[in-house]
Structure 1
Amino acid sequence: MTVHAPLIIDVAGLSLTRADCQRLAHPLVGGVILFGRNWQNRDQLTTLCRQIKSVRPDLLIAVDHEGGRVQRFRTDGFTHLPPMAALGALWMRPEKAGEMTGTSALRACAAATAAGYVLGAELRACGVDLSFSPVLDLDHGGSSVIGDRALGRDARVVTLLAQALMLGLKQSGMGNCGKHFPGHGFVKADSHLEIPVDSRSLKAILAEDAAPYGWLSSSLEAVMPAHVIYPKVDRRPAGFSARWLQDILRHRLGFTGAIFSDDLSMEAARFIDGQRVSFTEAALAALAAGADMVLLCNQSIVEDGTPIDAAIDDLSRAVLQGDWALSAASEARRQALLPVGAPLAWDELMVSERYMHALSMLP
């Protein structure tokens, strides 16, 4: 049994190469994140997922598949899911003549559950285990990287819509991952390209952007922190901060599920305490801060995957030298995200009453 497999890596193409298989077989590798380059059609995706599971059945297959502009698979029958902002807009729509107050909110929650079910059921039918969803960021109006990915501006509305969407994911047999803790929506900078800084106080952040994480702490199965610095709380980005991940997220807000780092290849993840760091240094910092798994994305296509090989070797060395301790609790949280039970096959899903009803409920 794997003691702790924290690395989530990517693969190069439409099928596994020998190098991909060797990396996925390593005991420190716990899963794969898929991208658009890994997609040709449903049959190819299903075959790729089967190949991954044939290397190790416990590997977690994940993808960023939220709807709107962040949806990796869009053709060959996949539903074009609306951006999450459409659900928030449905909530805010005035009631029709004769409808009771709150009807629009209930209608939006029903649509969110439908969106979660369609999202999860289609992915699971092709062999994908987890989508990094829902986005819990608030739309403060200035963030281009979040924007219409957010469910809304009001933390209460975001929480209830996310809860409804997570119910739909659960009905499909898929887990969930709220992101980006404690909130990426207030800052304008894109953490893929630079290091965003949110200068608000801890009290202000907890009252708004981080509030959904507390309200959903018993429902969230995983959380992904932001590569954002909140200097009035910690000088490190949240994903590398024990104050944020352990003191606040786990102890203050009561979250007990898995913590993923965001992509360690992003620019905001390459500087800690003002110093440029390697992938391995970033991974060790995230794990030391309280992350259970760390994502290293889009590196299989860089120098034939050399950055992934180096990270695996360096993490292995860190274990042997005692610089990092494997965590059975982290491994249990990773394994808990693997779906239980077989999904509906695609053709069966397409004619199921629940799926067809869910499609009719989408905004």
Structure 2
Amino acid sequence: MCDVAAFSLTDDERVRLSHPLVGGVILFKRNFESPEQLAALTQEIHALRSPNLIIAVDHEGGRVQRFLGGFTRLPPMRALGEQWVRDHVAGLELARQTGYVLAAELLAHGVDLSFTPVLDLDYGRSAVIGDRAFSGDPGIVAALAQALVAGLGEAGMGAVGKHFPGHGWAEADSHVGIPRDERSFEQIWASDIAPYRHRLGRQLAGVMPAHVIYEHVDAQPAGFSPYWLQAVLRERLGFDGVVFSDDLTMEGASVAGDILARAAAAHAAGCDMVLVCNRPDLADDLLARWAPEILPRSTARIEALRPRQAKDPFELAVEPRYVAAQRAVSELVASLG
């Protein structure tokens, strides 16, 4: 999965996205000018290949929401956690409505997938996670994430939990540093992995591991670790969805070597799809030198991510369910000031 530079495709990007190893595109804020432009861009990307490339985005809510003008402003997940503390039922319903609005609006504009929900626990230690987390309580995280995932699914979109097994304890930002977590496996299993052990874990279409080194468990970051991805996630937890690497250009991935070594390590560890973002030169380098074995089970998992349904923006705007959910979400965001 790679990215594109602006509001429409260049000739070089059309060539890159036509490479048989490319299976998806991730969009960023720089790719959004208006809902109409976004719909045209996604249509252009989908028209390049058959089957279509999967189009994804980090569109969580709060400070991680790539598309704003013309899209509903979504709350940070912490706001849903705070609502749950005040009123469990209302918190769960708002989480479901948030998931529905998030997915319905993206799908209406041709975006197939959002990398959400964040399942990390808020320990008050990680600034890069912070209010992106629902709570520091794994039970609250699991319950609210399940409600949000239900809303995504009702709109037709799968969910991708991140950052397995948990980024909330490590203080460094893996975008610019190499985070380390000194806790034991037993501590991580009892707390951070608890949401994945919840029935929520069986409802996730994908999981994204953290670029974090859990020093007392494995010398490799989780995204490069067969122990974390195969022994724990696949075998012990029984997860059978897509495993996405986090962005391989992040500093937290640098321990594996150059871009080819990073992709090979992630693939060997158990990632079905690797992300190379914001560095088209590295994407081209990887595509020129990498010759991985394409595993049929990975292809099938990725195909299963395709959205089940989508309404066009005009149909969505008059759907009573969407109108009610959008109003409730907007009222919550307005109350945050």
The alignment's TM-score, normalised by the length of structure 2, stands at 0.96
Partner-residue secondary structure (3-state), 2:180: coil
Q: Secondary structure at the match of 1:217?
A: helix
- Paired position in structure 2 for 1:314: 289
Is 1:242 matched up with 2:223? no
AA paired with 1:336? A
Q: CA deviation at 1:45?
A: 0.4
Correspondent of 1:74 among 68, 81, 99: 68
Which of these two proteins has the greater Rg computed from alpha carbons? 1
Alignment of 1:289 onto 2:273: no
Q: 1:335 aligns with which of 271, 280, 303?
A: 303
1:357 has 2:324 as partner? yes
CA-to-partner distance for each residue in 1:30-67, whole Å, 9 max, x for gaps?
Answer: 00000011110011100000000110142000000000
Separation in 2 of the partners of 1:38 and 1:243?
36
Find the aligned partners of 2:52 and 2:326 in 1 and give their Cα distance: 31
Deviation sequence 1:83-136 (CA, Å, 0-9, x none): 00000000112xxxxxxxxxx111100000000000000001100000000000
TM-score, with length taken from structure 1: 0.89
Correspondence for 2:313: 346
Please give the alpha-carbon distance, in whole angstroms, between the structure 1 residues aligned to 2:327 and 2:41: 30
Q: Deviations over 1:117-167 (max 9, x none)?
A: 000000011000000000000000111000000000100110010000000
Shift of 1:308: 1.4
Q: 1:59 aligns with which of 53, 59, 79?
A: 53
The number of residue pairs the alignment matches comes to 328
| Structure 1: 4+ residue segments shifted above 6 A | none
TM-superposed CA distance for 1:326, in Å, is 1.7
Amino acid corresponding to residue 141 of structure 1 in structure 2:
G
Unmatched runs of 5 consecutive residues or more in structure 1: 1-7, 94-103, 300-304
Counterpart Cα distance in 1 of 2:14 and 2:40: 14
Task: Give the Cα–Cα distance (whole angstroms) in 1 for the partners of residues 262 and 150 of structure 2.
Answer: 34
Q: What secondary structure is seen at the aligned counterpart in 2 of 1:333?
A: helix
**Distance in 1 (alpha carbons) for counterparts of 2:322 and 2:308:** 19
Q: RMSD value over aligned CA atoms?
A: 0.9
How far did 1:340 drift?
2.3
Distance in 2 (alpha carbons) for counterparts of 1:188 and 1:88? 21
The 3-state SS of whatever aligns with 1:261 is strand
Query: Which amino acid in 2 is paired with 1:312?
Result: L
Structure 1 or 2: larger helix share?
Answer: 2
Q: Distance in 1 between matches of 2:116 and 2:188?
A: 21
Distance 2:241 2:224 in 1: 17
Deviation at 1:254, TM superposition (A): 1.2
Aligned residue in 1 for 2:335: none
